[in-house]
Amino acid sequence: MVAADSKSTVMVTEPRARLLARPAWLNWNWLGVAPFFLFILAFLLLPATSIVRGALVDDNNQFTTQYMLNLFTQVYSTPYVNTIEISIVTAIVGGLLGFLLAWSITVGGLPARIRSAVLSFSGVASQFAGLPLAFALAATLGRSAPITKLLSNVGINLYPSFTIYGVLGICLAYTYFQIPFMVLIMTPALDGLRQEWREAADNLGASRAQYWRLVALPILLPSLLSALALLFSNAFGAYATAAVLVGGGVGGALIISLKVASQFSTDSMTNPHQGYALAFGMILIAGLTILLYSYARGRAEQWRKSGT
Amino acid sequence: MAKNRTSVFSWVWLLIGILYLGLPLLSTLGYSLSPEVRAGNPISFSAYFDVLSDPKFSANLWFSIGAGLLTTVISTMLLVPTTYWVQLRMPYLRSTLELMTLLPIVVPVIVQVFGLLALYRSTFLVNGSGGLYILMIGAYIIWAFPYTYRPISAAFQAINVKVLTEAAQSLGASWITILLRVILPNVWGGVLNSAFITFALALGEFTISSLLAQQTFSMYQFGVKDDIYKPIAFTVISFALTWFFIAVLQQVTKHPSQRNAARTTR
């Protein structure tokens, strides 16, 4: 029913077009990304929402904030606070040592072979956790370990007041993988410090300290902040290492992931909602951290895009 | 480009790094070689022999290799076409895609596992090891996304997807041909990098596998009750294995001209 002149064509085709009209963005392209998004939905988003849902309802499926408010009582807020403190400490200490190591293999000019050895070692060591790390710690600072003996030879007696099966042990262990993690994160950022900037500063008579204080550190600050946010998340969510070093009831007061685990194993019959609320609390804290990370990384990207 | 002058501090920090990171490993190594110290043998590989000849060791290792391969294949098959499609047809989704792959950092591992167990609690997925295996693979893939997406995304950003696709289409290529014979070879470095990372992560992972009761490689040390030296020897073995793996990855993904710098004198 296509008429010969253009006017009729419009009149004939318009109703058909209106029938097929739909928003511009809704097209078959979404089919291409469907598998990925379905997967994320099934294995990440839905489980997370089921935790959030479980945290905010009671046994009768009524909405309640009781379980979330319970998080502020001492028995639950203690592990949160302790874990946050441990995560901040290990993020800063590990971050500092990791930054210095990353600096040495980039700006510091160590040979290329050492650089790739450090990077490959860091790739492995950043995942070194749990029972193996606990063994390594015990082998180094345990009662009959060589370092302990060495220290007592120079008069520093670690035992009996020291133990690796406590907060200090956890901090030492976490720092162990925070350092290489920091190296992996900061190396690309340090590589991005252009030689021209250093030369320009030299040209204007800047000393080394001035270069770092006024040029390099300001440029690196967003990357450093985002790296610290990542390190914090890393320590905050860690489970296996703490489980081995302090596990069980005592550990639940120290490390929030242990508390969540014990809550789910003991209360799965009686009080699952509290467990969900604890887990939701962890999601919230980690979520705040990742917002900080994204913001800082957005700022860091500016320097990579600038044309100078 | 001028080389950075090597400052003396670099060696100082390197030494401190080696001290903190290397000493525990050396102590572990020393400990693992000492099962027969009482019998007068200061260095003995008996713990290693025990571990390597233990049938459970190889059973767990093969289990993890299988799980690692499955994880790698599925992860690559999810990420590569999606990244390609987003870059080609839906560039506005790029930041959403990146956010999705960063989300696993927000959800701590145990929360993710408990979420899975809670969500699927009345399905076959939580009854019996077969279902839990599926959950484990899914959890591995999600958990590894932040690390595995980066190389693929970087590789795709380095090529011009639009031009390649249009050129192939103008020559009459089907979508499969485009993906496999035009796009994939061009992002192969990133894909290989991502595959290695996925595999290494899957091999060393144990929080997810212990919570889901799967007998993976790293779960071996928990099953050994009789002897303290076997798990310690296992620690050294698994560290060395992973390091070897990552070093191979570094070599394989280098540009061919960088592989042996001493040889290229052109």
CA R_g for chain B: 23
- pLDDT tier at A6 (50, 70, 90 boundaries)? very low
Domain annotation covers residue A48: yes
Domain annotation covers residue A190: yes
Taking the CA of residue B93 and the nearest CA in chain A, the distance in Å comes to 10
Whether A141 and A235 share a structural domain: yes
CA-CA-CA-CA dihedral for A37, A260, A242, B205, to nearest 10: -30
Whether A132 and A275 share a structural domain: yes
The DSSP output letter for A41 is I
Which of A126-140, B38-52, B162-176, B250-264 is predicted with the least confidence, judged by mean pLDDT? B250-264
Cβ separation of A106 and B4 shorter than 8 Å?
yes
Domain annotation covers residue A67: no
Cβ separation of A264 and B222 shorter than 8 Å?
no
| B56-70: average pLDDT | 89
| Average confidence score pLDDT of chain A | 83
Which residues form the domain of A52?
A: 1-56
Please count the other Cβ atoms lying within 10 Å of the Cβ belonging to residue A155: 6
SS3 (DSSP) at A3: coil
**Residue B34 near chain A (CB below 8 Å):** no
Higher pLDDT, A34 or A15: A34
Dist. CA A216–CA A198, nearest whole Å: 8
Chain A residues within 8 A of B37 when measuring between CB atoms: none
- What's residue A236's pLDDT? 92
CB-based contacts of A76, cutoff 8 Å, min separation 6: A70, A259, A274, A278, A281
- Highest mean pLDDT (candidates A82-91, A246-255, B97-106): A82-91
Chain A residues within 8 A of B143 when measuring between CB atoms: none
Domain annotation covers residue A201: yes
- What's residue B213's pLDDT? 81
**Residue A253 near chain B (CB below 8 Å):** no
What token pair was written down for B43?
């260095």
- pLDDT tier at A193 (50, 70, 90 boundaries)? confident
Question: How do the domains of chain B map onto residue ranges?
Answer: 55-219+229-254
Evaluate if residue B79 carries a pLDDT over 90. Answer: yes
Which of A161-165, A167-171, A209-213, B29-33 is predicted with the least confidence, judged by mean pLDDT? A161-165
What token pair was written down for B265?
């004198």
Whether A190 and A122 share a structural domain: yes
Whether A166 and A30 share a structural domain: no
Contact B64, B242 (CB under 8 A): no
Whether A31 and A122 share a structural domain: no
Cβ separation of A108 and B24 shorter than 8 Å?
no
Structural domain B55-219+229-254, CATH architecture: Orthogonal Bundle (1.10)
Please count the structural domains in chain A.
2
B:84-113 residues touching chain A, CB 8 A cutoff: 85-86, 89-90, 93, 97, 100, 102-112
Residue-wise pLDDT tens digits, B115-160: 898 888 877 777 777 888 899 999 999 999 988 898 888 888 888 8
End-to-end Cα separation, chain B, in angstroms: 17
- What's residue A113's pLDDT? 87
Q: ipTM of this predicted complex?
A: 0.82
Domain annotation covers residue A268: yes
Whether A43 and A172 share a structural domain: no
Q: Where are the alpha helices (DSSP H) in B107-128?
A: 109-119
| Residue whose tokens read 């071996």 | B220
Whether A76 and A18 share a structural domain: no
Evaluate if residue A218 carries a pLDDT over 90. Answer: no
Cβ separation of A47 and B239 shorter than 8 Å?
no
B:161-190 residues touching chain A, CB 8 A cutoff: none
Which of A84-98, A222-236, A278-292, B28-42 is predicted with the least confidence, judged by mean pLDDT? B28-42
Evaluate if residue B35 carries a pLDDT over 80. Answer: no
Evaluate if residue A219 carries a pLDDT over 50. Answer: yes
Whether A143 and A236 share a structural domain: yes
Whether A288 and A178 share a structural domain: yes
Whether A174 and A283 share a structural domain: yes
- pLDDT tier at A2 (50, 70, 90 boundaries)? very low
Whether A213 and A262 share a structural domain: yes
Domain annotation covers residue A66: no
Evaluate if residue A304 carries a pLDDT over 70. Answer: no
Taking the CA of residue B61 and the nearest CA in chain A, the distance in Å comes to 17
- What's residue A20's pLDDT? 63
Residue-wise pLDDT tens digits, A225-275: 888 988 999 899 898 899 888 876 677 788 988 888 888 776 556 678 888
- What's residue A25's pLDDT? 67
Whether A43 and A79 share a structural domain: no
Domain annotation covers residue A32: yes
Could you tell me the CATH number of the domain that includes residue A206? 1.10.3720.10
